[in-house]
A and B are shown apart, each in its own frame.
Chain A
Amino acid sequence: MLLAIVIWGVTGVVTAGFATKRWWFPAPINTHAAAFDSYFSANLIFSGIVFLAAQLALGWLIWRHRNRGQQAVHSDGNNRMELLWTSLTAILFLGAAIGSARMWSDVHLSTFSTTPMRIEASGKQFAWNFRYPGADGKFGKTDARLANDAAGNPAGILPDDPAGKDDIVNAALRIPAGRPVQLILRSNDVLHNFFVRELRVKQDLVPGLDIPLHILADKPGEYEIACSELCGLGHHQMRSVMIVLPQPDFDSWLGKQAAK
């Protein structure tokens, strides 16, 4: 009896915790993030109903059938019930898999209608660098052995590559609002992960691979970038910011950088 009450109590507290949303997502800053939030809400409601139904039923069965000297019903199963709940869960679970495939495809398997701006995002223990190709639109070749923060070449751009002369490297990621951006994620030491909560997207940086990630932010502001793949003792401080600027502000910032 006590157990039934404890299970119901815990169920109530857990449900209330999720319902109050005291600790929750930050506000979305693009259509993907908004779509993510509503898709997650649907999941939350669905699993919330199952959670409540299962826990309440468990508590009720404990309450109802606690031993008061009664004889147990003899039953060793029911094939129709098995068939019913097997097909029901199969449909629901497969529905979830298929339902979310679309959103995944939008992030990873589709292209923008306009040409995205390309920015190279590279991580190393325990800092971020963001490289813009400059006026020529081309990134200079790099060699990680040449990377040297003190010498002003954190990306390790080859000095004799003309394409690299006008490359701009910055510790923060500045992007124009409303414009598609293709990040090229690179690392030359260990795994890292690019995660901006407001974009509802994360992607590992893998040495040996250049991984493209399409992002688009509509709402100007400053958002934290948190490394989300264990990269060593300073993992917890591998922070940068993504600064979303209105297009004119972005253009003037880029102009100033190029003039440097």
Chain B
Amino acid sequence: MTMNTQGRPTSPVSAANQSVDTVSGSKGLLQAEGLIFEIGTQDTTGVDLPTPKNRTGRLGGVARKQPTGLPGLSEPQTVRHYMRLSQKNYAIDLGLFPLGSCTMKHNPRLNEKLARLPGFADIHPLQPQATVQGALELIDELATWLKTLTGMPAVAMSPKAGAHGEFCGMMAIRQALVARGEAEARKRVLVPASAHGTNPATAVQCGFIVDEIKANARGRVDMESLKAKLEKTDDIAGIMLTNPNTCGLFETDIKEIADLIHAAGGYFYCDGANFNAIVGRVRPGDLGVDAMHINLHKTFSTPHGGGGPGSGPTVLSDALAPYAPVPFVVKDEDGVFRLVEDMEGDAKESFGRMVAFHGQMGMFVRALTYMLSHGADGLKQASEDAVLNANYIQARLKSVMTPAFEGYCMHEALFSDAFTADGIETIDIAKSLIDEGYHPMTMYFPLVVHGAMLIEPTESESKAELDRFCDSLESIARRAAQGDETLKGAPYLAPMRRLDETQAARKPVLKWTQPDANSVAAE
């Protein structure tokens, strides 16, 4: 079997820990809150209208015969319900968000201000193009920045998230192979063991076959493993590689990897999820990349993780540019911006259309605002500070935790669970961080490191905030090394105690159902 060693305890250790101390179930000002179906009744409503007299239904035979079953709530009940739920959320606006590879950086308020300008916020994608020239120019301007920062000649702006951008890049590769008449012969895509899970999924979705390359002891692509995979070349479609990779390390052999894959007749897809570590320092175009998505919601500070939609523009090399998806913006000689929507003329070789309209316009405004407010030098400094912050965390914690690899890291610090005493796991450390007021780090990923803990502080955090976080994690790590069993009961202070993920997966309850009237009466 494919051996995944990242299994972890997914059931609470002891049900005795689940007791609640207050009558209301609230913990101080952290109020207990039921489902909306549990707090609402059919008898209340926020809109109290008199029953109309002499009402004649006009719905014929299609009028609803049963009540909808939706709870009726008054306005204050509704407001409190969602306010209480929102207070259970953790957000980048509340504190450091150390999720590795997620790049939870501050979302500048200036971005929000500009995104709300009526000329951007109140337009419709089906408006005549002559009335939205400014918006089209903004897309074109952002595209120019993305091409400049990556050193790539073309960009597809419409992909709506990271994996969608991967899909765009891999579809462009497939279309290029179709044009070469080799789509049937070249099916194999090489993917390193440390890859984001979306990489192999994207390759398979595009009809390719995934072939895994091993990592070496330094956490990078094992060049011998790669060369062995390239002994046969006539079935190679390409490689998908993240750089910096998911171990938070720069792939130092990336240029040779690009040369090898090109010599084999394949294309180089670079997963740009971690581009935020190298903006202004390295241009992927100089490394031989053929396609790379850029997460505006990571690198360029637009909100994500429930705060907003992703956006994954995908830069393309000259070899792949003709196959870019429609629509895209071009500037005609008379200075008018025009949307190319049909697969003809400039777009006759396009692989097709991925989305209804132009992409995430609101995110485009925010990303360009971030770029223009920082300037080229500011973007470079943001990358450098992100790397500095991650290395500060690694340096502060390496005496109590076990760095997964030797040497400096890039934008995220990776630790294994080697320092923990028997019986204490990564999950116990992660849950204990919740009690300290932090969202846990990425855990048990990447798969190539046992009990992985991946921490990405981003450049947004001050040294004081990094120290506060490190103090908490250092204390937990010391207890983990000493075998402190109380860690296994964490979280103690969260709205919910440790959940039974095993039962949730084996017997999922996905829908609220009305409790049996008899059993309610009996209580």
**Is B truly associated with A?**
no
Name B's A-contacting residues (CB within 8 A): none
